C-alpha cells in the first residue's frame, strides 16, 4: 500500500544549542555558518530569564556549504562548542530517523501515525512495532512492518524488556513512540533512551496522572479534557511535556463520550509531538521542553 | 481486519421535530411517549426567537415501550404530527445507517473514517466507496469494501453520475460522505439526497470558498485556518454548516504547513459531522443546522 | 457613569429540577405548564447514565400564564414537586439578583465585572464590594457602590467574617463573587452560602490547586495554562466546577507572561460563570455542575 | 485612580529587519551587536520560502552596550543597513509610545484597554481619546485623559479629520487604536499613519467584512464567530491581519448572544494586537504581518 509521497528536497543542517548565556554566542555561531557559505533559513534564540540559559536552533541550507558533515561536526566542536561550553547537536534533513512504535490493544494512535507515515507527512522509517498483545498485528502486516509480540507479566517483564532492547539496538532505532502502550517501562529501559521515548497520556498533566484519567475527569466534573505528549522519565507521567491539547466537555458527556473525544486529542497530540521531534524542533532543559516554531 | 468493537446496547427511539411554535407542543409529545411507557433519556427543545420556529429532539428508551415502530409512527402522525402541523422524523438506535464514501486521491479523511468504523465508534455500514481515481482502491480492499472507479470528465459526467446514483439506490444508501472528493455534484444528484450529502471544505466558510483555500489563506495572511463540514446544496460551499474547527497559524507556516495542519482539521471536523448525523442530532432549518448536544 | 443599557423585556419563569429518574417526569412538568397557558421557550433535559438522576431546566413565557408566582410555586410543589420527590427551584427573569463582590488588590476581574454590569450585560444589583485591602476603593466610588474595608489577620478573621456576614444579610445578598479575593473563607461562612459563592482559581483544576499556580505551571513546563471558576466548598479548590478556559503558552513565556495571559483567562472565565449563574443555568449534583445551554 | 504598576526594568534595544535574503545577514547583524558589547536576549529569524525575503527581530540588553542610541543608529545604517539594502527600525524598551484611542459609543474595548493601561500591563501613554459621540467622555475624565468630541457627518468629515490630524500631531501620537470606532477613515488620513492604525473588526476576516457581521454570521449559521485586529489600509477590512480569535456558537445563540460573546473576542483580540505593537513584535510585508513571539 503506497499513497502520495510528499517530496522534501530540502537539504539542510539543524543545529540545536543550550549553554550558559554569554555575549557573542549568536555572532560566533552564525559567523561560523557564514564563513563556510551556509545560508541560514531559520533561527530562533531565547535566553531563559530565570536560569540565564541560552537556547538556540538554527537551520541552514547545505547546497553551497563548504564542509562535509564530518568536517562540520569536528570543526564546530573545536571552534565553537568547546570554547563556549555548549551542549549541542547537529541533525540533517536528509537523514531519515528510525522510529519504533509500542502498542497494546487500542488502534487509533497507531493508525493515525501510519496514515501520516504512508502519506509522507512523517519522514521516518518504522522498522518495528512491538506489542504486548496480538490485536494490532494485522495492521502492521498490511504495511509490511515487522510486528513483534512480547506479552508482559510481572514475572517475565525484565526478560521481555531485554528482548525489546535487543530488537531496538538491532534495528538501530533512534526513538520510540508509546502509542497507548499500557505498560510502564523500567528505569533501566528508560535510562537507555533519555528524551527519546515519547508517550501520550490521556489527560492534561499534571491533572489526572496514572490510570483511568477519563474516569477521574468525569468524577471531578471538569469542563475540559486533555491529552499530553511527553518524554518518558523514571517518574511516571512526570517527564518533560512536549505538547498538550484540550477539548470541551459537558455534563451530557458520559465516560464513554470522554473516551471517544479523548481519542481524537490523543492521536493529534501524539502526532504533533512526533512531528516536532522528527523535525528536530525540541530541546530539553530541566524537565521542560523548548519547542521551536 | 477487525478491532475492538464498541458495544452499544441502547435500544432507543429518537424523534426530531420542527414546527411553528405553539403552546402545549412539548406537553403533547412527552405525554404521548409517557402514555406508552417510554422513558425519556434526553430532551432538548428550543424556540428560534426570530422565526418563532420550534425545534426539538427527544430520545426515549424502547425497552418497555408498548408500541411497535409501525404503530408508533402511524399513531404519532395521527395524534401529534398532523394536529400540530409538524415536520418530524423518528430514528432508532438499533438501525445501522448505510453510508457511501466518495473520494479522489487524498487518503487522510478516508483512513480516519475507516479507523472509526473499524473501532465501532462510527455505527454505520459502508457498502461502497466511489472514486474518480484508483489511488485509494487498496485501502478499500483491505476492509473488503466494494470500490468503484468512475473517472469523471466534462463529457462523461452526466452518465457517470447516473451510474453513481444507480449504485447508491442499489446499495440502499442513506447518506453520502464526500471525503475530499474533488468533483462538484450536479444539481440533479444533489436534489436526490437533500441534506444527506456531507462535505468537508478546507476553510472556515464563508471565508475562502471554492478552490485552493490554503493558498488564499496564505496570501491573505490570516492567523487562523479552518475546516467546515456542511450539507451539500446546489450552491457550492453554501449549504447548511454542521460543524467548524480552526487552528492557529503563523508567518512561519508555508502553504505546505497550512495544508498539513489543515489535514488534521479536515479529518476531525468531517468525523464530527458524520458522528452527529449518525446519532440523529442534526435538523436543518432555513439553510442553518440545529445541532443538538 | 451610565452607558448603553441592554434591554431585556423577557418575562419568563425558569424551573430547574433534579430527581430520581422515573417515567413521565417531563410530561408531568410540561403538562402543568401548558395547563396554565405557559409557552415553553427552552427546555433541556438529561438523565445521568451512571446515577439515573434526572436533570431539567425549562423556561416559559409568563405573558399569558394564568398563575401568580405564589400560586405557581405552591401548586407546583403540591402537584409535581412532592409526588415526584423532586429538588426544584423557580426563578424569574424580571427579578434582578443581588451580588456581592469580594476583592483584594488585583483590579482586572473587578473592572471586567463592573464593565459588564454598566453595559447591562450582567443583569444584577451590586449593593456592596468587600475587601481586605483599600486599593480598589476608588473604583467602587466611581460607580457609587458601597465599599467596605475589612482587613483580615489570623487574629481577627472570625470577627471580620461575622461583620461580612452581617453586611451580606443586611443587603439581602443572593450570591457572592470572589474576584481574586486572596483569603480563604471559613467553613462557617461557606456553609451559609452553599453553591452561592463563585470563585476564580488561576489554573485548570485539578492541576495546580492552592497558591502560586503560575509559578508551578512554569516550573512544570506545561504548554497550556488555565482558569477555573467554581463554587466554593469547605475543601479548598475542590468545589463544583462551573467553567474552565485555557491558553497556549511556550518556553518563551516567563512567569510574568503567564500571569499576564492568565489575567485574561481569569476575567473571562469568571464572567462566564457569573453570567450562567445569573441566568439560572446551573444545577449542582454530587460536586459536579450541570450547566444548561 | 492608580493601581498596581507593573515594573519593567528591562533596558533593551529591539531591531527589526526585512531584506532580500542573502548569506551572512544574521552573522553581520549579531557581530555588530557583539562588537559593542550588546548581549542578545531574544532573536527570531525567518526566510519566506516563496519571496526569499528575510525577516528578523533581535533584542539585546543595553546595560553594557558601548554605543549611544544616536551612534547605534548611524553606525548601523552605515555598516549594515545600507550594504545589505535592509528595511530596518530600532526601538527601545525604555521609550513609552504615545497612543491615541478613537471610540464611538461602545465601552467594552475602551474599558479593557484602560484597565490594562492602569495596571501597567500596557506600557503606553494615552494623551488623547477622540470620539464622534459624547457617551464615553465620563470614562476618560476618571483617568484624566483628554477627551475630544468631534461628531462626523458626510458634510464635515474632511474638516473634522483635519482637526483630528492636527490633534494627533500636536500630541506626538505614535499610533492610533480604533476601539470600535464606527467611522471609516479617509484615504488621506490612513496614508499619514501607515501600519500605525490598529482596528478591531468583529468577524474572522475575510469572512463577513463590512457592517453587521454578527447578523450575517447568524444568517449564515456559522458555528464559530471571530474577531480580527488588523492595520488599517485604504481598502476597508483588507489591511494586514495582526491577530484573530474565535468562539464557538450554537443554534441556541441569538444575534444578541453573538454580540455578547463577540464583545469578549473583540476586547481580547484588540488588546493582544496592541500588546504586540507596543512590544515591537510586528513587521508588515506584502499586506501580511510577521508577528514574532
Q: How does pLDDT run along chain C (293 residues), one tens digit per residue? A: 444 444 456 899 999 999 999 999 999 999 999 999 999 999 999 999 899 999 999 999 999 999 999 999 999 999 999 999 999 999 999 999 999 999 999 999 999 999 999 999 999 999 999 999 999 999 999 999 999 999 999 999 999 999 999 999 999 999 999 999 999 999 999 999 999 999 999 999 999 999 999 999 999 999 999 999 999 999 999 999 999 999 999 999 999 999 999 999 999 999 999 999 999 999 999 999 999 99
Instruction: Check B237, B253, B257, B264 and give the catalytic one.
Output: B237
Residue A49: pLDDT band with limits 50, 70, 90: confident
Does pLDDT of D272 surpass 90?
A: yes
Euclidean distance between CA atoms B167 and B160, whole angstroms? 11
Beta strands A53-61 and A98-103: pairing type?
unpaired
pLDDT confidence of residue A8: 57
Closest among A150, A152, A148, A153 to A137, alpha carbons compared: A148
For residue B5, what pLDDT is reported? 44
Query: Could you read off the pLDDT of D180-205 as tens digits, one per residue?
Result: 999 999 999 999 999 999 999 999 99
pLDDT at D6: 44
What is the overall mean pLDDT for chain D? 95
Of B106, B108, B138, the CB nearest to A1: B138
Total CB pairs under 8 A between chain A and B: 55
What mean pLDDT comes out for the span D31-35? 97
Residue among C27, C41, C46 minimizing CB distance to B31: C27
Q: Convert the pLDDT of each residue in D41-56 to its tens digit.
A: 999 999 998 999 999 9
Task: State the residue for C-alpha cell 474552565.
Answer: C244
Predicted pLDDT at D10 = 84
Helix orientation angle between B25-35 and C25-35, rounded to the nearest 10 degrees: 140
Contact flag D47-A41 (C-beta cutoff 8 Å): yes
**In whole angstroms, what is the distance from residue C245 CA to residue A224 CA?**
8
The answer to whether the CB of C127 falls within 8 A of the CB of C145 is yes
The full set of domains in chain B, from first to last, is: 12-92 (3.30.70.260), 98-291 (3.40.50.170)
Q: Is the CB of A115 less than 8 angstroms away from the CB of B108?
A: yes
CA distance to partner chain D, nearest, from residue C77 (Å) = 30
Selecting from C250, C252, C288 the residue whose C-beta is nearest the C-beta of A221 gives C288
Find chains touching chain B: ≥3 CB pairs under 8 Å. A, C, D
**Are A118 and B138 an interchain contact pair (Cβ–Cβ within 8 Å)?**
no
Q: Cβ of D251 and B221 within 8 Å?
A: no
Return d(Cα D8, Cα D275) in angstroms, integer. Answer: 14
Minimal CA–CA distance to A99: which of A126, A80, A78, A81? A126
Q: CB of B263 within 8 A of CB of B283?
A: no
Q: Label residues C147-168 b or e (16+ Cβ within 10 Å = b).
A: beebebeeeebeebbeebeebb
- CA–CA separation, B274 vs B278, rounded Å? 6
Question: What pLDDT is recorded for position D5?
Answer: 43
- Looking at residue A117, what is its pLDDT? 97
pLDDT number for residue D80 = 98
A113 has a pLDDT exceeding 90: yes
| Per-residue confidence (pLDDT) for residue A4, from 0 to 100 | 40
Neighbours of B8 (CB within 10 A): 11
pLDDT of residue B171: 98
Backbone angles phi, psi at A267, to 5 degrees: -70, -40
**Hey, are the CB atoms on D106 and C135 less than 8 Å from each other?**
no
pLDDT for residue A7? 46
pLDDT for residue A6: 44
pLDDT digits (tens, 9 = 90+) for A54-68: 999 999 999 999 999
- A292 Cβ contact list (under 8 Å, min separation 6): A44, A57, A281, A282, A283
Q: What is the pLDDT of residue C5?
A: 43
CA distance B52 to chain C (A): 9
Q: Please, are residues C87 and C18 in contact by the beta-carbon 8 Å criterion?
A: yes
| Nearest CB partner across the interface for D46, out of B48, B55, B252 | B252
Which of A219, A251, A286 to mutate: most C Cβ within 10 Å?
Answer: A251
Catalytic residue among D48, D51, D87, D237: D237
What is the tens place of the pLDDT at every residue in B223-237? Answer: 999 999 999 999 999
Supply the pLDDT for residue B179. 98
Task: Say what the pLDDT of residue B10 is.
Answer: 85
The pLDDT of residue A101 is 98
Residue in C17, C25, C30 to test binding to B, most B beta-carbons within 10 Å: C30
Whether pLDDT at B153 is above 70? yes
Q: Which residues of A are catalytic?
A: 237
Band of the pLDDT at A10, cuts 50, 70, 90? confident
Give the distance, in angstroms, between the CA of residue C230 and the centroid of all CA atoms in the same chain.
8
Residue A9 above 80 pLDDT? no
Give me C69's grid cell.
Answer: 408566582
Residues of A in contact with D31 (CB under 8 A): 27, 30-31
DSSP H stretches of helix in chain B: 25-35, 69-76, 108-119, 137-142, 157-170, 187-192, 213-220, 255-278
Asked if D108 and C118 come within 8 Å (Cβ–Cβ), the reply is no
By residue count, chain B amounts to 293
Establish whether B237 is a catalytic residue: yes
Q: In this complex, how many residue pairs, one in chain A and one in chain C, have their CB atoms less than 8 Å apart?
A: 85
pLDDT at residue D1 in the model: 42
Shortest distance, CA D207 to any CA of chain B (angstroms) = 4
pLDDT at B7 over 70: no
Question: Which residues does C164 contact at the CB level (< 8 Å), separation at least 6?
Answer: C130, C150, C189
DSSP letter for each residue of A116-177: HHHHTSS--EEEEEEESSSTTHHHHHHTT-EEEE----TTTHHHHHHHHHHHHHHTT--EEE
Residues of C in contact with A46 (CB under 8 A): 251-252
Q: What is the mean pLDDT of residues A131-151?
A: 96
Q: What strand order describes the sheet that includes D224-231?
A: D146-149, D125-131, D98-103, D175-178, D197-201, D224-231, D241-248
Average pLDDT over residues B55-66: 97
What pLDDT shows up at residue C8?
57
Chain D, nearest residue to C41 by Cα? D252
Q: Reply yes or no on whether the pLDDT at D130 is more than 60.
A: yes
Quick one: cell of D98?
A: 504615545
CA distance A167 to A176: 12
Give the residue numbers in C contacting B (CB under 8 Å), as ranges.
21-28, 30-31, 33-34, 37-47, 56, 248, 293
Amino acid at each position: 500500500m503506497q499513497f502520495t509521497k510528499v517530496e522534501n528536497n530540502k537539504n539542510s543542517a539543524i543545529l540545536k544549542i543550550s549553554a550558559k548565556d554569554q555575549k557573542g554566542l549568536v555572532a560566533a555561531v552564525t559567523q561560523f555558518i557564514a564563513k563556510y557559505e551556509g545560508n541560514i533559513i531559520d533561527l530562533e534564540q531565547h535566553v531563559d530569564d530565570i536560569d540565564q540559559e541560552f537556547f538556540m536552533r538554527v537551520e541552514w541550507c547545505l547546497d553551497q556549504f563548504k564542509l562535509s558533515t564530518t568536517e562540520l561536526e569536528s570543526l564546530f566542536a573545536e571552534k565553537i562548542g568547546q570554547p563556549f561550553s555548549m551542549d549541542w547537536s547537529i541533525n540533517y534533513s536528509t537523514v531519515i530517523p528510525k522510529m519504533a512504535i509500542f502498542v497494546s490493544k487500542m488502534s487509533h494512535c497507531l493508525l493515525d501515525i501510519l496514515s501520516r507515515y504512508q502519506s509522507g507527512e512523517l519522514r521516518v522509517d518504522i522498522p518495528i512495532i512491538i506489542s504486548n498483545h496480538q490485536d494490532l498485528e494485522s495492521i502492521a502486516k498490511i504495511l509490511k512492518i515487522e510486528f513483534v509480540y512480547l506479552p508482559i507479566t510481572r514475572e517475565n517483564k525484565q526478560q521481555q524488556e531485554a528482548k525489546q532492547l535487543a530488537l531496538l539496538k538491532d534495528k538501530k532505532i533512534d526513538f520510540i513512540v508509546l502509542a497507548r502502550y499500557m505498560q510502564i517501562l523500567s528505569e533501566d529501559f528508560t535510562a537507555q533512551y533519555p528524551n527519546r521515548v515519547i508517550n501520550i497520556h490521556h489527560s492534561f498533566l499534571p491533572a489526572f496522572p496514572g490510570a483511568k484519567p477519563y474516569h477521574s475527569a468525569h468524577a471531578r466534573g471538569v469542563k475540559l479534557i486533555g491529552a499530553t505528549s511527553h518524554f518518558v522519565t523514571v517518574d511516571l507521567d512526570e517527564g518533560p511535556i512536549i505538547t498538550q491539547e484540550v477539548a470541551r466537555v459537558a455534563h451530557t458527556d458520559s465516560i464513554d463520550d470522554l473516551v471517544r473525544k479523548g481519542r481524537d486529542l490523543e492521536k493529534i497530540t501524539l502526532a504533533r509531538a512526533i512531528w516536532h521531534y522528527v523535525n528536530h524542533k525540541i530541546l530539553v532543559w530541566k524537565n521542560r521542553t523548548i519547542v521551536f516554531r
